[in-house]
Amino acid sequence: MIRSIGLLVISLLTFFLCAAYYSLNTAKDNQGFAVVTIKTGETTRSAAIMLEKAEIIKSSIAFEFVARLFRSSIKAGEYKIAKNLSVMDIIKILEEGKSLLYKITIPEGLTLAEIGIRMQDANVIEAEDFYNACREMLTSRKWVIATDSLEGYLFPETYSFARNVTAKTVVVSMVDQFFKKVEDHLPKSIANDPEKLHQIVTLASIIEKESSKKYERKLISAVFNLRLEKNIPLQSDPTVIYALPNFKGNIRKKDLSYNSPYNTYLYKGLPPGPISNPGLGSILAAHEPANVDYHYFVSKNNGEHFFSRTLKEHNKAVKIYQIKKKKH
């Protein structure tokens, strides 16, 4: 009994002495921050040594003692830690696993393949891992999607990811954001109906690729909705480009005869699925087109389009904005 009490007293004294020693040996006199990466499976000792080398602490031994005493569970991640924090503050950061986050912006209108490349270029995840995760998550039945691809359902947004993020986490974040947006802004009759939603997203993806001008989206939507209603081919160049195996940057006349269900010159109605990942503006435009009776539009070669009601007006506009421009 006396021996047990003696051991307890010794343990308590050791704790207070080490705690005091540690508080004196944190780098409180230093300024600034240091970034450290703790890998999966890293031991408390190796993490403490790393912190000492980064001059965040002065004693790895004392840090390890306190961490073990409090049975701290240090999580893997990349951390930006101030050099004047107390021991317990540092341990709390590592226990909570609040890794350093990096922002990546996914613009509206990128394809699934282009998003993968952007992720890789930003050192977030490998493009191939992104593509594989898209296929894997589609078959996981987490979401009810009326297609065999997540094209169109990866919401363009600015995201913040840790350096060690998994491809699955990235894909889930983007698709969850898509459904959050459509559920917040579209009627439930569409948001909860996979087939109706798929049609809206498919049309929105075409609108997104046709114009970068926000005010034109509902006008373009009106043209396509009117054509769909009258069973007139959409004749959208971006749908043809999406299907071309080796597009070089300039669509040619012979490309318009390329046989693909995405070729809206050859096939009436919407293509099988989205050709890009549209933003909320294009999604809303697809749902609520402008109240106009335009059947045609042609590029003015300045980012804007000229809209026409009749084929005669359209041919005149083509002559002004396209044929003369090419001759010039």
Cα angle 232, 216, 295; round to 5: 20
Global confidence as pTM:
0.80
Residues 294 and 215 in one domain: yes
Residues 128 and 30 in one domain: no
pLDDT tens for each residue of 236-270: 999 999 999 888 778 888 889 999 999 999 999 99
Q: What is the largest CA-CA distance in the chain?
A: 106
pLDDT of residue 30: 62
pLDDT of residue 182: 96
pLDDT tens for each residue of 95-106: 888 788 889 999
Residues 312 and 222 in one domain: yes
Domain count, the chain: 3
Q: Are 163 and 102 in contact (CB under 8 A)?
A: yes
Domain end (from 96, 129, 158):
96
Where residue 226 falls (left for φ over 0; alpha for ψ -120 to 50; beta otherwise) is alpha
Domain end (from 49, 77, 96):
96
Q: Are 306 and 316 in contact (CB under 8 A)?
A: no
Q: Is residue 195 part of a domain?
A: no
Residues 250 and 142 in one domain: no
pLDDT above 70 covers a percentage of the chain that reads 89
Residues 62 and 167 in one domain: no
* CATH code for the domain of 69: 3.30.1490.480
Q: Which residues of the chain fall below pLDDT 70?
A: 1-30, 323-328
Domain with 144, as residue range(s), is 102-185
Q: Is residue 40 part of a domain?
A: yes
Q: Is residue 10 part of a domain?
A: no
CA distances from 207 to 70, 139, 269, 328 (A): 58, 28, 14, 29
pLDDT tens for each residue of 54-83: 888 888 888 888 888 888 888 888 888 888
Residues 109 and 151 in one domain: yes
Residues 82 and 153 in one domain: no
The radius of gyration of the chain from alpha carbons, rounded to an integer in Å, stands at 29
Q: Is residue 196 part of a domain?
A: no
Q: Is residue 65 part of a domain?
A: yes
